[in-house]
Structure 1
Amino acid sequence: MSARPGGPETAARSHPARRPGRVLTVIASCLALLAAAVVVGVRALGQEPTVTLLANWTGEDATRFREAVIEPFEREHHIRVDYQGSNAESQVLGADVEAGTPPDVVVLTGPGELAEYARQKHLVALDGLVDQADFGSSWATPLADGHVYWFPLKADVKSIVWYPADVGEKQRQAAAHQPGQWCVGVGSGATSGWPGTDWIEDILLQRYGAGVYERWARGELSWRSDQVKGAWSTWRDLVGAGGAPDLVRRALKTPYQRASEPVAATPRGCTLEHQASFTRNQPVWEHADGRYESSAQLIFGAPAPRAWEVSGDLVALLHATPQAKRLIAHLASADAQRAWTAEESGFSVHGGIRPADGGTGSAWHRSLALALRDERTAHCFDASDAMPPAVRDAFAEATIEFLAHPAHLDALLRSLDTLSATRGLTWLPSVCDRTS
């Protein structure tokens, strides 16, 4: 900070009796301001180790992530993490890449999107930085070139239905066949519609198994096949698509985070929510002591799930700076993953962490952690997240149109078939850890 010319001298002549203590205080303040200016200058010149990180956690989730995972890294390595959280991170990343200013590290939910960035040479292979054996090939998926470009920081289970603790089995069975008892909200800003894709994916997976599901997620099974079309029709019947105007309007206008709010109403406005494990942290489900049941058991009366649909927050590297490499190694470590799991904001599938590690010991968290490690059942990644971005987005938009106008299904599926056949799209080699 610079004083105006002659300022200090004029001040001295005006106050010849200034006390020494006051002078020392002023000097100390100036030195502090000067030091701050030097720090800002050093950062501006890029001389302080800094790594930029883009992820989708905002609000309380971002605070938990920073406190549990980022701050320990900053203290240990003396590297500042410039974190940006956005609910529209795909759009933010796309704009940054196009402008030539992408972050060093990104956390995305879509392996299909990451595969496209890898094809375009925007991602750095993680060879030597991450041990694939810590996660397995279904989570740290090798692409056609043999390299791994991402790994999961956390995982979630999607083949589940939440209900209040005081709702018994017979009540749940009856509610499952009443469209008004489902808490449905497909709003999500720029990504609206994805809760609908979760429904269709899970129905297909539970009715036909991992083999059919994987063929479809890899672009090898027509959207107009009997299996896929049947999944859409089943969803229609369950939630009343195109039926009661009030139900449809509620589903279309409600953000997914608020879909369960009618559970807290008197009388209850809905009882069941088909949503991923992360929704258990919503205040409504915490207050209702939310419990879960597998969607296969509740909707189809199956003795057990045919497979678990899962999702993940996947870490990828765009700039191989020394500090970015250190952050990648930290995020892939058992310690960082255990700390994030302890927040019950998700689950780790790191081989060095037992399902019982971390967390507060709540029964729902322990049991879902075990479901993620169940070697007797297949685990299939969220199909829309695994699809090429253009197909994923069109799928999400189609679920919104279908909710209001189910009679448009044939036209919607024909359009999705045409889009999926477009040349040059990047499809993942696999989305399930096994298909039999």
Structure 2
Amino acid sequence: MSAHGSGAARTAARGRRRTRTVTVLASCLALLAAAVVLGVRALGQEPTVTLLANWTGDDERNFRTAVIEPFEHKYHVHVDYQGSSAESQVLGADVEAGTPPDVVVLTGPGELADYAHQKQLQPLDGLVPRHDFGSSWVTPLADGHVYWFPLKADLKSIVWYPAGTGEQQLREARDQPDQWCVGMGSGATSGWPGTDWIEDILLQQHGPRTYQKWAAGRLPWRSPQVKQAWTTWGRLMGAGTSQTLLRRELKTGYQDASGPVAGHPRGCTLEHQASFIRTQSDAWKRVDGRYEPSARLIPGATATDAWEVSGDLVALVHATPQAKQLIRHLASAATQRAWSTAESGFSVDAKAQPASGAAGPAWHRSLAATLLDQRAAHCFDASDAMPPAVRDAFAEATIEYLAHPRDLDALLASLDTLGQTPGLTWVPSVCDQLP
């Protein structure tokens, strides 16, 4: 080996040692920085905000990536997130123990109105611009304050069907109870798919004014309009006609109801379900699910451009500086857009919509446009807007009715009695456009 070659080798070796030293030093600094962050959190020196919502699994991962992490990086506030599919029960226990989270996300304005009545929620005045959302989404309570706003929205007055299904096939399937994909199961909240059905039928048959009176506790359950909605649903479901059909309806979870639509032969054709099911159901993905406004398939429908909607609603429990900052972040157009994109969902903030001409399936663009249509009537899910005790009894009654349709009068009388219980808090308005 020549002398020149040996010198080059020594120089290269020194260079490699310097590179390794720099690399090791950088790694140590990174570990030290991480340790400092963890130490600060452990000592409680980093501002923290606690948040309770119902997202778990993939939904939670999406929420952390699209919403929480950008907030933490921008504002240097740690978010202590708890996700639970039983968030109502968790929140109730936390409130009872005196340890509620700073910010909560619930699907029910009725439940939130009850907490506001108990002085458990803080007004959002000055934190959330009301004009960014329709009045059905940011309804002031009797004290004039707004206590919640939507982070994500869904449309409910729709019926899904496989691509290629003709109009005549849709009409024929509608009148065959076994052609409806139905699953009433949902753990502790089983029965809510039935409440969605009855609410939507009432809305389409009798319009937003009647719907709002009923949702606000001002129209009896035994009224002809409400009773007609129940019996219409009973005929569509074949209530009392087949034990085999009844077992399928009651033992199937709502998330599994669409499974037979992709079977060979096809086990069902139509599903009355909210917009979220299109991206959550593998069966609807496989058959390229399309939707029809439910008004075109509900017998006796007379309403024009009336839609039942639902949403994930954000509320403030503790008005700490970091909690207020999180509220502003969640209400911002950028966060609304990021979360809706991550979930293939919808925001009802017009400023949060994708740029004009953005790619996406036609059904998704159409649903988004319907949710934002200022000429349409959007009525919030009535059972979600009712006091929790009435909401839960309504869901249980739908299951009982499918099994024993002859007991309808007794079920409605019981709901009327419950709805007249003193001290219940009713949301005054659930519809944003009334003819």
Who is 1:102 aligned against? 100
Who is 2:351 aligned against? 352
1:435 deviation in Å?
A: 2.2
Who is 1:195 aligned against? 193
Who is 1:381 aligned against? 380
Q: Aligned partner of 2:45: which letter? A: Q
The answer on whether the counterparts of 1:165 and 1:288 sit within 8 Å (CA) in structure 2 is yes
1:41 deviation in Å?
A: 4.8
Say which is worse superposed, 216-225 or 131-140, in terms of deviation.
131-140
1:355 and 1:29 mapped to 2: Cα distance? 40
Who is 2:54 aligned against? 56
Who is 2:19 aligned against? none
The answer on whether the counterparts of 1:344 and 1:360 sit within 8 Å (CA) in structure 2 is no
1:2-401 → structure 2 map (5 Å cutoff): 39-281=37-279, 282-300=281-299, 305-354=304-353, 360-401=359-400
1:279 and 1:28 mapped to 2: Cα distance? 47
1:77 deviation in Å?
A: 1.4
The answer on whether the counterparts of 1:359 and 1:365 sit within 8 Å (CA) in structure 2 is no
1:319 deviation in Å?
A: 1.1
1:398 deviation in Å?
A: 0.5
Who is 2:410 aligned against? 411
Say which is worse superposed, 419-428 or 353-362, in terms of deviation.
353-362
- Over the residues paired in the alignment, what is the CA RMSD in angstroms? 2.3
SS at match of 2:105: strand
SS at match of 1:313: strand
SS at match of 2:276: helix
1:105 and 1:299 mapped to 2: Cα distance? 39
* Structure 1 alignment gaps of length 5 or more: 1-25
1:166 deviation in Å?
A: 2.4
Q: Aligned partner of 2:373: which letter? A: D
1:372 and 1:328 mapped to 2: Cα distance? 22
1:336 and 1:35 mapped to 2: Cα distance? 28
Q: Aligned partner of 1:136: which letter? A: G
Relative distance call for 1:304 and 1:212 in structure 2 (3 A) is closer
The answer on whether the counterparts of 1:338 and 1:358 sit within 8 Å (CA) in structure 2 is no
Who is 1:433 aligned against? 432
Relative distance call for 1:119 and 1:166 in structure 2 (3 A) is same
The answer on whether the counterparts of 2:207 and 2:302 sit within 8 Å (CA) in structure 1 is no
Say which is worse superposed, 267-276 or 305-314, in terms of deviation.
305-314
1:32 deviation in Å?
A: 9.1
Relative distance call for 1:116 and 1:359 in structure 2 (3 A) is farther
The answer on whether the counterparts of 2:333 and 2:352 sit within 8 Å (CA) in structure 1 is yes
1:29 and 1:57 mapped to 2: Cα distance? 35
1:247 deviation in Å?
A: 1.1
1:265 and 1:358 mapped to 2: Cα distance? 35
**Count of residues paired in the alignment:** 412
Say which is worse superposed, 272-281 or 64-73, in terms of deviation.
64-73
Relative distance call for 1:407 and 1:223 in structure 2 (3 A) is same
Relative distance call for 1:124 and 1:270 in structure 2 (3 A) is same
2:122 and 2:263 mapped to 1: Cα distance? 49
The answer on whether the counterparts of 2:204 and 2:298 sit within 8 Å (CA) in structure 1 is no
1:357 and 1:61 mapped to 2: Cα distance? 27
1:406 and 1:145 mapped to 2: Cα distance? 41
Of all paired residues, the percent bearing the same amino acid is: 74
1:408 deviation in Å?
A: 1.1
Who is 1:20 aligned against? none
Q: Aligned partner of 1:310: which letter? A: V
Normalised TM-score (structure 1) = 0.89
SS at match of 2:111: helix
* Structure 2 alignment gaps of length 5 or more: 1-23
1:226 deviation in Å?
A: 0.6
SS at match of 1:90: helix
1:434 deviation in Å?
A: 2.2
The answer on whether the counterparts of 1:343 and 1:359 sit within 8 Å (CA) in structure 2 is no
Question: Residue deviations 1:182-210, cap 9 Å, x none?
Answer: 00001111111110000000000000000
